[in-house]
Amino acid sequence: MTLEPSSIGNVRPIKIEEEMRSSYLDYAMSVIVQRALPDIRDGLKPVQRRILYAMQDMGATPGSQYRKSARIVGEVMGKYHPHGDAPIYDTMVRLAQPFTMRYRLVDGQGNFGSIDNDPPAAMRYTEARLAQVAMELLADIDRNTVNFTANFDETLQEPLVLPARLPNLLANGASGIAVGMATNIPPHNLSELCDAIALLIDNGEASMEDLFEIVKGPDFPTGGVAFRYESVRVPGLDGQGPTTERRDAIRTAHADGKGRVVCRARSSIEETSKGRAYIVVHELPYQTNKAALIEKIADLVRGKKIEGIADLRDESDRHGMRVVIELKREAQPGAVLNALYKHTAMQSTFAVNMLALVDGQPRTVSLKKILDSYINHRREVIRRRSEFDLEKTRERAHILEGLLRAIDMLDEVIKTIRGADSAEDAKAKLIARPFELTDRQAQAVLDMQLRRLAKLERTKIQDEYKELIEQINYLEDLLANPRKIDFLIRDDAMDLKDKFGDDRRTVILDQEPEGFSEEDLVAHQEVVVSIS
């Protein structure tokens, strides 16, 4: 049957390769911008931002009672994030895990999983509220500091970015897999970041070398040891073979936005009174599954790839991690430890790939670029906050000017109001001569309570007006001097350091981990060699 042209309607021929290319690009950009990559300003992905905003909006703030996780997930899904409940809950769980986040943004109550990769309890069993440090991300959001946009069904407004008093992107890091790109930013120590922000405020021309003097390297929530240097093979010159070069891996990763950092577990060797030795593991590299590590060691012992281990047990408790590896009497602890580093995740590599959204575009960024972007964002936030406060203060001062003028002419005001035919007539007469009040001032005089006419109340109005004039002068001066806004950013950073700053958990060692040879895995013991 042949279709008449009129019956085809809006059907139009499209080449399938063109449609695939167009649709896939739309999908890829959606994943990159709306799902997988964090914004360089607040360090959050859209779903994380929506969770924090929704929790504040529903009153699940520090000091309030915990709210059921299912209710929080429903709030986020119904208002801002129309996707599955499982991804929203998984994101909230990660924000609450102390071994995932360097500075937890959600304060969870109940089973939120463990470092052994135990799954969290179902959302109907757990409860949560915002952690205190999360309030620094949301500070001043109600003072026109950031732009809002309509939610998915255009019934509500949601923030495009948070005011972010906390330098969250570097403090907590980020990881995500988009289409054709991925990000993996390590967490850092907040005290070091605040000092680095202060340095850039005082000296905008500070170099990467100056920053490296303050920011020593990644600071993982699980602690462990990170090595600054690594050995890399480089091609030889003039036809010679490849040579080994020593490179500062941490500086390279932070300067280029890409690199690799070798991390190790932190362990100690203990001896019993009977002469037996133990290797005790206290901290593991970031994102290492403790249960899987213990199982891997057991498999290696059974397969005789590692020898000298007599027993293996996990003595971890709420006070900290303690994995005990009991050695055989003849075993050499150093040789066993080297074998564990070579064959297990007790030594692993963190691949740094600092990719973030800059003006809505994915960019590989350096440590300095992230800090500069954060400072520029805070400048914009403080400027908008000051303009908002200035407008509100001027409005209040304007009202108080009218009240003070009315109190000075009190008898005439009372006589005028009593002689008026209606409230509208009274308002019109107050606007006219001799009072010459504005519409808002006249309304305020009509709404004024009689007790405000007492002498003490009049003094309070005068004192408040004087304070408002001082506030207006301060805000006008602040907006006229960008350098003073910079000093406010520095003060905020020092305040954050005092409130939330802590000691570094990850130890940075300069010496590089040597490559393991067969000799490293052989026990050191005295032998007798006889030749006949």
Whether the bond into 186 is cis, omega within 30 of 0: no
- What's the token pair of residue 54? 């929704």
Q: Which amino acid is at 229?
A: Y
- Half-sphere exposure in the Cβ direction for 91 (13 Å, CA): 25
Between the alpha carbon of residue 66 and those of residues 57, 61, 99, 109, 194, the distances in Å are: 14, 9, 21, 8, 31
Between the alpha carbon of residue 50 and those of residues 47, 54, 511, the distances in Å are: 5, 6, 43
Known active-site residue 465:
no
- Half-sphere exposure in the Cβ direction for 113 (13 Å, CA): 21
What is the distance between the alpha carbons of residues 375 and 212, in angstroms, rounded to a whole number?
18
Catalytic residue among 24, 89, 125, 374: 125
Q: Is 144 helix (H, G, I), strand (E, B) or coil?
A: coil
What is the distance between the alpha carbons of residues 196 and 190, in angstroms, rounded to a whole number?
10
Cβ atoms of 249 and 260 closer than 8 Å: yes
Neighbour count for residue 186 (Cβ, 10 Å): 26
What is the distance between the alpha carbons of residues 204 and 202, in angstroms, rounded to a whole number?
6
What is the distance between the alpha carbons of residues 59 and 49, in angstroms, rounded to a whole number?
16
Residues composing the chain:
532
> What beta strand segments (E) does 198-329 contain?
225-227, 229-234, 243-248, 258-264, 266-271, 277-283, 309-314, 323-327
- Half-sphere exposure in the Cβ direction for 255 (13 Å, CA): 12
Cβ atoms of 361 and 263 closer than 8 Å: no
φ, ψ of residue 202 in degrees (nearest 5): -70, -30
Helix axes 85-96, 69-79, angle to 10 degrees: 120
Annotated catalytic residues are: 125
